[in-house]
Structure 1
């Protein structure tokens, strides 16, 4: 047994390194995954809370602005009840509305239109202030969608148009003017509709507020109309696409069809898809409960083309988007990617610790080896050998089988030591042991009882079979004597005794019997035997 074998050391180091590395890595990856999952969950909850807060804030701010416009519309409508609404009063009304427009600064136009669609009063506002449009410049608007949608309204109904760009003479006005039109009917004393009041609300202020609030979102902020078109988007090429024939395919609805379908079915909520995480809410969830909305008490809102929706979108491939990734494989990859240095340290520690464990194992094996084996010959020493023999004996008693014990003694070892030196004596001992090992089975074993005495234990061989093996061993020695020109001859005496497993049979008595046979043979062999050969002149 070569305890210093590099191959053996390498095998143990590799084995322990792999086991330690896998064990420690699994512990690290498990703990890291749990820790990272919890951290990601906390961050995700914070982001969800932030996005929901921003959506609510966007909704409240925009609703507040629209509610204020509705209040202004009702004020102007109610003020008309003070007049008879004929040519004599139109000029007075126009002057009052001009003052109102200059104060508000948010209405591109304030108009009163009669049942035929004719503009009766129109106040235009610009950076230079408001001015009353001359009667000769007033137009008929009966073909415009907002007039058609408004003229059939009942008392206390407010019409809110879609949010679009202002169009003049069939073209989008430049620079762009985002407009929302709100209207309500005006009635005479008999309850008949006399006309409608229309406010052209300059929605730039509303959209500016929307953009300012959206800066606090970690994702992208969108304001969508009821058809899924972008009214607000940081990518300006996608805004107002429905106003241009060549851009009508550009919409949130077409880019994210599944998400849009879900948003249509729900007034507000969150949605996590393969594209990313969405937080959304309708803007105009008008509450007519007077306890919650005093401004709009008993008011019925009629939408021209539905509602608007604020959407905050966190793309999946963004820095925060990965927090909403539910794939455990992605989480594992993320842990491995972030933990490469730690895994390298674990590998180094595993190797170092494995080297120490291997050295300790080798040290223990050496101690065990030298406590059980004869250092020179590598066979079992007397103590360990007899323990093993007793164990074999007990096993065979319980389970069946047989044992033959061969007691051998090397003839003339002392003569070789005295005449040729201990190196030659050691060579003789090793030659004898090698000859035995060459011809016995793996289950057989050899015990060194003393300096030149050995036991050979033949497992499951009777005495005749054991003698046959011994004959082959002895022939090996004869071959050495005949073919090798050594200064000594190899000669061994032996005695074999078979265990009969009688009730009163003991191992010691069997060994003594074999020993006695060996001495009987030794007396015969030593007659005229010369171990050390004479030197040739």
Structure 2
């Protein structure tokens, strides 16, 4: 009897037990696929954000070397050879070193390679080097290569370690040397301006981006040597003999092969997931120098490769977590399945939250926090289509700051960034929450006013913005705003023409004396835009 009672159970239990096992197995594979897809997207956004950080810092470096080369005091010295200008040049270099905190040395060398002015950073205590301590660098690779350039060209050395007296400086000091030749007013070559960029700040900025990610950041040069890795003992193998074999192709050959096949992407190997992108740092207006370790020959390429590596251990931990949460049967299966799904949901929410933060960073201007150029393009196109479909109006304000360069040059980039932040805050305060405020770049902003009652209302908002900006002060310095205003559909029915008219009106404001608002209707429709400049119309 007992045997007969158990017979139906053993007949039906095994096949029925297969159903939840098959379901749990399918759920496991689905969750792993979803996790890996989300992980690829998230790591791709990490790489994008790191690329933006690198580009922004190197663009600032190029801008600084151009500003130093165009220094008024230096130009006066080059034209007159009057040594009374040298202390003023030195004071300018000292101010740049103190405010920027990123240059180990700032130098002007004459055409014979002799240092004329040099400021040393001294680990946060900038100082002007005495004349007796200045050195002749005529035989150094960076001087000869930079001096041979044409006006406006810039040389940048590879990212490597600083060498002092023929040996690596300890502790290691990552460095990029950037220089450009300078000329007097007659076009005579009079030497070079050179800065030593403390590249550790660049490497630290890369690490800061992925602080909340499960990946480990790497930076490689074109030969596969690590410039940055989770294991410091692998770094700088091309400069440290005992690390000569520490290369990506030796430790992760499958990942290295994928990086050589495509400029960006993802590759899953038995060593983990690698997300990567190839960069050409400072690719506009420069040529790479020879390396400090091999001064006679320039590198084959000056490319870098950004890598985000999620180790196999991290992936295996996720796989094990999912598997063990789905093993128990019956009620235990259901309970543990609920716990597993909850854990997976929390992990997924965290990933999506981090992904959303990265997406916001990619669409937000890093200095001011308002919409960046890409985001503004998308929102303007979307609002134009909505206005067209529902027969509504929208106004476009083009805003260019008057006097910003003087503040930037006088008070430094940090104060300049603060000016841009306060201008952006003023624009947001004077607009409604549904309006769009964005920074196009430099000292240019744009505002999209949604559904203004009429041109008079839009003009009133523009005047109020102009007044608020003119009232701001920074150490007794002020800026004003030249504003151009165009209304859809009164002035233009398509976005490119609306932008052109707002841009033209803005330049009309500048031509009329600045610090004013000009309506598109007050400017001839055929009036050319003052100067050739890229606008967001190209993106729309």
Name the TM-score class by shorter chain: 0.5 to 0.7
Name the CA shift for 1:24/1:94 in 2 (closer, same or farther; >3 Å): same
Q: 1:239 aligns with which of 220, 235, 259?
A: 235
Matches within 5 A, 1:86-485: 86=81, 88=83, 89-127=85-123, 129-284=125-280, 299-304=284-289, 305=299, 306-319=302-315, 338-342=325-329
Name the CA shift for 1:106/1:250 in 2 (closer, same or farther; >3 Å): same
Name the CA shift for 1:131/1:286 in 2 (closer, same or farther; >3 Å): closer
251-260 or 141-150: bigger deviation: 141-150
Contact 1:29 1:336 in 2 (8 A): no
Q: 1:32 aligns with which of 20, 24, 29?
A: 24
- Paired residue for 1:508? none
What is the DSSP-based 3-state SS (H/G/I as helix, E as strand, rest coil) of the residue aligned with 2:98? Answer: helix
TM-score (norm 1): 0.53
Contact 2:249 2:256 in 1 (8 A): yes
* Whole-angstrom CA distance in 1 between matches of 2:304 and 2:55: 11
Contact 1:107 1:200 in 2 (8 A): yes
Alpha-carbon offset, residue 110 of structure 1: 0.6
Contact 2:58 2:281 in 1 (8 A): no
Alpha-carbon offset, residue 312 of structure 1: 0.4
Contact 1:183 1:197 in 2 (8 A): yes
Residue-by-residue CA offset, 1:169-201 (whole Å, 9 max, x unaligned)? 112212322211111222344545432211101
Name the CA shift for 1:204/1:260 in 2 (closer, same or farther; >3 Å): same
- Paired residue for 2:66? 74
Matches within 5 A, 1:34-53: 34-53=26-45
Name the CA shift for 1:339/1:25 in 2 (closer, same or farther; >3 Å): farther
- Paired residue for 1:84? 78
* Whole-angstrom CA distance in 2 between matches of 1:39 and 1:68: 43
TM-score (norm 2): 0.53
Contact 1:153 1:185 in 2 (8 A): yes
Residue-by-residue CA offset, 1:390-449 (whole Å, 9 max, x unaligned)? xxxxxxxxxxxxxxxxxxxxxxxxxxxxxxxxxxxxxxxxxxxxxxxxxxxxxxxxxxxx
Contact 1:165 1:179 in 2 (8 A): yes
Residue-by-residue CA offset, 1:17-60 (whole Å, 9 max, x unaligned)? 3x645423432233223222222222222222221121111111
Name the CA shift for 1:54/1:24 in 2 (closer, same or farther; >3 Å): same
* Whole-angstrom CA distance in 1 between matches of 2:78 and 2:322: 77
Name the CA shift for 1:20/1:244 in 2 (closer, same or farther; >3 Å): same
Name the CA shift for 1:117/1:228 in 2 (closer, same or farther; >3 Å): farther
148-157 or 192-201: bigger deviation: 148-157
* Whole-angstrom CA distance in 1 between matches of 2:278 and 2:332: 53
Instruction: Kindly name which structure, 1 or 2, has the bigger radius of gyration based on alpha carbons.
Output: 1
The unaligned stretches of length 5 or more in structure 1 are: 288-298, 324-332, 347-537
What is the DSSP-based 3-state SS (H/G/I as helix, E as strand, rest coil) of the residue aligned with 1:126? Answer: coil
The unaligned stretches of length 5 or more in structure 2 are: 290-298, 334-540
Alpha-carbon offset, residue 207 of structure 1: 1.9
Residue-by-residue CA offset, 1:143-189 (whole Å, 9 max, x unaligned)? 43433443333333222221122111112212322211111222344
Residue-by-residue CA offset, 1:206-259 (whole Å, 9 max, x unaligned)? 222222222122121112222222222222212223221111111223212332
- Paired residue for 2:395? none
Contact 1:94 1:122 in 2 (8 A): yes
* Whole-angstrom CA distance in 2 between matches of 1:193 and 1:25: 86
Give aligned pairs, total.
Answer: 318
Name the CA shift for 1:22/1:164 in 2 (closer, same or farther; >3 Å): same
Contact 2:98 2:124 in 1 (8 A): no
Residue-by-residue CA offset, 1:279-307 (whole Å, 9 max, x unaligned)? 112344667xxxxxxxxxxx523234412
